[in-house]
């Protein structure tokens, strides 16, 4: 029997219907929207959001349909001001995130993308990543999470890339998915979103690239299996902060696993409990989890119509930090160390509820030579790039590891809330 030319369209239609149903099952109901308030408050602290954090927050708020024009327009202006003139210096993933934030919902910001040739700049940065991998034993300039953002943005905004090259780069056995021998759920999930976009684009173009399509589908299938293998008894996938990306990946890939493989309601309920405990204080972490709780994914960026108004013009209360009176109950003491070849330590006093980054800042005030550091913003929040001038390098597979009690933390320096008497450490490490 001659194959039907309608088959790819029918498969895409069925796929979208299944994914939509799964999103509806996991979506937080309207009567429970108040449980998302802590996320919205974390994302709209005007004195905290900066750089690519603004892009991450803008992207998330647009996807879920926030209509607060004062807030959205302010964030949009921040993102455009930050991006203007910095295209060359931004990392590839930062630029990809900015493109998706400005391009979401078909607003006037799309004109900025074209005027400043942001997609062209991203194409060049993506090629530079590939070149670095070819010259340095498979190591990108950044990491595979950012490369996945690159491919996703290029795919969504009609950039140029090779589907064959992408299928080869994102093979599941690639070591860049792993960190200390452990599969990174967040990285794998973002790769699934990127590969799903590539797959859909191949199907729409009705090309003869059957091998590319088959290779891409096999990658998605294996990555989804790896993501599900990291599902915990309470429904979290990987850890609290990787679960949002994992949910998005599973929404768009439901044809690759059985319904019994994932209880999305359990995952949703566990995340809502984590929100109530104040886990998502970091704007980036809050921005990443919010879309998945409302059944949205990053692939919704290129819908034909503006983003659906899921939350509408709700009243967002922007909570500014309150000054803390200097008494014994409002401050805590932690032990902070920097370890390179030898260990440098100090005792630091910070206000109760402070995050790891604030401990580092206090130590730096005490002795900049020993505790001086630099950070960069990513879609996961700030991360340490150097301490004492010693800079992490992907080509050498070196990085700054943050630890508590001698154990690596699964939260970033902008998210992890420190506790009285804790032993905190920043350690020069390799992977």
The annotation places the binding site for cyanocob(III)alamin at 142-146, 239, 288, 383-384, 409, 431
Closest CA to 334 of 365, 369, 360: 360
What is the Cα Rg of the chain in Å? 22
Lookup: tokens for 389: 């001038």
Count CB neighbours of 76 within 10 A. 21
- Report CA-CA distances (Å) from 353 to 47, 53, 414: 17, 21, 12
Q: What angle do CA 158, 162, 168 make, to 5 degrees?
A: 135
DSSP 328-343: TTTEEEEEEEEESSSE
Contact between 110 and 103 (Cβ < 8 Å): yes
Closest CA to 55 of 375, 320, 357, 380: 380
For residue 403, the surrounding DSSP H or E stretch is strand 398-404
Distance (Å, whole) CA 397 – CA 351? 35
* Residue 182 half-sphere exposure toward CB, CA atoms < 13 A: 9
Distance (Å, whole) CA 160 – CA 142? 20
Annotated binding site: 142-146, 239, 288, 383-384, 409, 431
Give Cα 83 distance to the centre of its chain: 19
């Amino acid at each position: 029997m001659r194959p039907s030319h309608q088959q790819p369209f029918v498969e895409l239609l069925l796929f979208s219907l299944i994914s939509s149903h799964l999103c509806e099952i996991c979506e937080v109901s309207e009567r429970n929207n108040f449980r998302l308030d802590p996320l919205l408050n974390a994302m709209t602290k005007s004195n905290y959001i900066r750089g690519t954090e603004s892009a991450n927050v803008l992207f998330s708020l647009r996807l879920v349909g926030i209509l607060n024009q004062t807030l959205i327009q302010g964030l949009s202006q921040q993102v455009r001001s930050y991006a203007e003139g910095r295209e060359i210096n931004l990392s590839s993933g930062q630029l990809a995130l900015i493109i998706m934030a400005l391009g979401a919902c078909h607003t006037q910001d799309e004109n900025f993308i074209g005027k400043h040739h942001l997609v062209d700049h991203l194409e060049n940065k993506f090629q530079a990543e590939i070149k670095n991998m070819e010259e340095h034993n498979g190591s990108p300039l950044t990491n595979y999470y950012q490369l996945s953002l690159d491919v996703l943005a290029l795919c969504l905004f009609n950039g140029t890339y090779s589907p064959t090259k992408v299928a080869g780069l994102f093979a599941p056995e690639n070591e860049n998915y792993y960190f200390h021998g452990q599969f990174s759920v967040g990285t794998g999930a973002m790769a699934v979103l990127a590969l799903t976009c590539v797959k859909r684009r191949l199907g729409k173009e009705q090309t003869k690239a059957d091998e590319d399509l088959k290779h891409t589908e096999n990658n998605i299938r294996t990555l989804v299996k790896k993501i599900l293998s990291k599902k915990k008894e309470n429904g979290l996938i990987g850890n609290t902060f990787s679960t949002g990306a994992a949910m998005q990946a599973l929404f768009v890939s439901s044809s690759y696993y059985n319904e019994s493989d994932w209880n999305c309601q359990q995952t949703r309920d566990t995340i809502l409990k984590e929100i109530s405990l104040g886990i998502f204080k970091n704007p980036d972490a809050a921005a990443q989890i919010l879309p998945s709780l409302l059944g949205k994914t990053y692939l919704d960026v290129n819908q034909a119509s503006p983003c659906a108004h899921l939350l509408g013009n709700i009243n967002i209360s922007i909570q500014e930090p309150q000054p803390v009176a200097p008494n014994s109950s409002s401050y805590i003491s932690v032990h902070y160390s920097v370890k390179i070849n030898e260990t440098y330590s100090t005792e630091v006093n910070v206000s109760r509820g402070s995050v790891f980054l604030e401990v580092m800042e206090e130590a730096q005030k005490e002795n900049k030579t020993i505790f001086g550091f630099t950070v960069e913003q990513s879609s996961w929040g700030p991360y340490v790039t150097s301490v004492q001038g010693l800079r992490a390098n992907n080509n050498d597979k070196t990085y700054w590891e943050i630890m508590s009690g001698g154990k690596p933390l699964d939260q970033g320096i902008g998210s992890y809330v420190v506790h009285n008497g804790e032993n905190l450490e920043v350690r020069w490490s390799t992977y």
